[in-house]
Chains A and B, each alone.
Chain A
Amino acid sequence: QKEVEQNSGPLSVPEGAIASLNCTYSDRVSQSFFWYRQYSGKSPELIMSIYSNGDKEDGRFTAQLNKASQYVSLLIRDSQPSDSATYLCAVNSLGGATNKLIFGTGTLLAVQP
């Protein structure tokens, strides 16, 4: 079973700190990796996408990918209370006849004022 795993949390950080969210995946042929943010009862919204090993930065967000370790992470610098949400890691699965995005169950982030 191809899976994407995340710690469910909650991950609690003080305002202004760095939040570190982690994700591991099992499908070695995966090529595209995404982080989504989801507020309760709302639809997922894209935060970052990453396709090659290394770091990718966008404002306060940095995505890190290590394909050898099958690991992808999201760092949020200067965390704000508005960042409190569930963060979903998603990985494309192209093995065999499948072509779909597999989501982790998400990590709940709570930023304390």
Chain B
Amino acid sequence: EAQVTQNPRYLITVTGKKLTVTCSQNMNHEYMSWYRQDPGLGLRQIYYSMNVEVTDKGDVPEGYKVSRKEKRNFPLILESPSPNQTSLYFCASSPGQYLNQPQHFGDGTRLSIL
């Protein structure tokens, strides 16, 4: 089954404790991205990767890191999480580099930073 898989689905943690949210897609997609969704603010892009060689900041990259060492995986890293990073996070992938095809979303990860 073609899918984008995120883990964990839910996480409650404390300020400053490094965490990684994994994202993997099995569709051989070039483009991958991370979003956060907050009430009233909609989906905001954190980072994106056009292909294995290109990663760039989205609209809200502060406090996050990503890596794209292989095509299928695109982990989101919070080196020192803070309460303002409490949010619902989505990973998404798209076949082409230039977003001329729809993005497929993972099921989401709900993070609570205390």
A9 to chain B, nearest CB (A): 13
B59 to chain A, nearest CB (A): 8
**With A44-B90, A100-B48, A103-B42 in contact, do A51 and B102 touch (Cβ < 8 Å)?**
no
Decide if B90 touches A99 in the complex (CB within 8 Å): no
Residue B19 lies at the interface, judged by CB distance under 8 Å to chain A: no
Residue B56 lies at the interface, judged by CB distance under 8 Å to chain A: yes
A interface residues, how many (CB within 8 angstroms): 25
Decide if A31 touches B100 in the complex (CB within 8 Å): yes
Residue A72 lies at the interface, judged by CB distance under 8 Å to chain B: no
Identity of the chain A residue whose Cβ is nearest the Cβ of B102 in the assembled complex:
A46
B10-45 vs A, Cβ < 8 Å mask (1 yes, 0 no)? 000000000000000000000001010000111111
Chain B residues in contact with chain A, CB under 8 A? 33, 35, 40-45, 48, 50, 56, 58-59, 88, 90, 97-108
